[in-house]
Amino acid sequence: MYDVIIIGAGVSGAAVARELSRYRLKVCVLEKEEDVCCGTSKANSALIHSGYDAAPGSLMAKLNVAGNTMMEELSLELDFPYKRIGSLMVCTSNEDLPQLQTLYSRGIQNGVKGLSVITRKEEIREMEPNLADDVVAVLHAASAGIVCPFGLNIAMAENAAANGVEFFFDTKVERIFSNKKEQRGFQIKTSKGILETRCIVNAAGVYADVFHNMVSNRKIHITARAGEYCLLDKSAGEHVNHTIFALPTKWGKGVLVSPTIHGNLLVGPTAVDIEDKEDTATTREGLTELIEKAGMSVRKLPIRQVITSFTGLRAHEDNHDFLIGELSDAPGFVDCAGIESPGLTASPAIGLMVADIIREKLQPQVNPDFNGKRKGILNPNTLSKEERAALIAAKPAYGNVICRCETVTEGEIIDAIRRPLGAKSLDGVKRRVRAGMGRCQAGFCSPRVMEILSRELGIDMKKVTKNGAGSELLIGTNKDRL
């Protein structure tokens, strides 16, 4: 019998797990994929929003601003990349200036700090030389930032695991029943057996409506909203200094152009509602659309420097707000649903809010052994020449570069595999240390990473996968054909 079972190991589920690990509770996380950060949390804009966009009074607005405020301290505690670079909402027509002013007023009402409307073209051009020529004003949000979404998600999950939370991967939730035997709580039928729990936290992303509707008569509906992106090479990373948003116009909502925390340039997303909650395909139409729209805000966009494109799915609830709270007709079932943008920003505050709901219900004791600190994977590129030489002398694997594009060493990959909730696949390694995320997109380093995974996990090379069962890369050896 668990006290709490969390469904979903994305950024919301990991945030809840970490906050609950502050208490003496038996907690586990169920994830249908082979790793944390495999759904919405892995494919998004990687932004820390300031909070002026959400409707005043909404949970989105409240938790966005709270999460933004918490992010810097959290990044220091958990050792993940984060940088406050600010954002600019671009207005290209005098007719649209009232709309820009409305967003400014909404931000002030939401409690956003560091907002200003700038109309002096010289000042705008000094801030961003590559903005479109017809820009007449910008809304500057100094509190906006960029983050590594994988780093944030993995850091919170690792810290939760270090403090006693159990994680079960490749474990799909199939049904949820009331626990008649205990006359309280729930039984959860999974692909690997039945578990019992006093409380459930439903952090299942685009599938959160499925589990909510299993236990509640008050149905909700979540749409998978697909957003396509282009990622540009690091040679294009300094084309803009801030995250650039386009003010919605008669041509529709624009796309963003932003530096990433690792020095690339990101363009996107589109927004198309789809039926299939697993469809992450990119389309020619979508990529063409985002390139055209980005060009309305940023000139001379070096789009030929694209190294990959991808699609992320947002969990859009019909009322366009976060659904967080215990269900009145299913006591012990706590929704953490409809977590779309700005969910990444809000995640620390979401974790705190859900943990408070559980704490008030179960009245647990504080965990005296809780340690909120976590040390990330050592990046030798951050060391001085002398420090790096000493590291390699002590641990020669840090002198063996495996991924040339990102200069990732064997030592880093070994750390990624051996640490709590370590990598078990090529994508797991990629999310943790960026091996395969560079210009050649894993064309060079994949065989070597596979060899390291095979050795460290003690499995045959044919069992090494890209992202879990069914994505094996090898089917045999050449000698088998002789």
**Which residue segments constitute the domains of the chain, with CATH numbers given?**
82-145+223-313 (3.30.9.10), 380-463 (1.10.10)
Closest alpha carbon to 316 in 345, 347, 340, 336: 340
pLDDT of residue 249: 58
- Separation between Cα atoms, residue 294 and residue 285, nearest integer Å: 14
Closest alpha carbon to 130 in 49, 229, 236: 236
- Strands 115-118 and 330-337 come out as unpaired
Nearest 10 degrees: CA dihedral of 372, 373, 379, 385?
160
Q: What are the tokens at 432?
A: 């943790």
pLDDT of residue 179: 79
Is the CB of residue 291 less than 8 Å from the CB of residue 263? no
Residues labelled catalytic: 49
- Please give the C-alpha separations between residue 413 and each of 259, 377, 382, 422, 435, in angstroms, as whole numbers: 25, 9, 16, 10, 8
Is the CB of residue 282 less than 8 Å from the CB of residue 309? yes
pLDDT of residue 481: 64
pLDDT, tens digit (0-9, with 9 covering 90-100), for 105-134: 999 999 999 999 999 999 999 999 999 999
pLDDT of residue 181: 66
DSSP assignment, residue 131? B
Q: Residue ranges of the chain with pLDDT lower than 50?
A: none
Question: 3-state SS string over 410-478?
Answer: HHHHHHHHHCCCCCCCHHHHHHHHCCCCCCCCCCCCHHHHHHHHHHHHCCCHHHCECCCCCCECCCCCH
pLDDT of residue 479: 73
Residue-level length of the chain: 482
Interhelix angle 59-78/149-162, rounded to 10 degrees, is 70
pLDDT of residue 252: 52
Other Cβ atoms less than 10 A from the Cβ of 284: the count is 7
pLDDT of residue 389: 97
Is the CB of residue 290 less than 8 Å from the CB of residue 228? yes
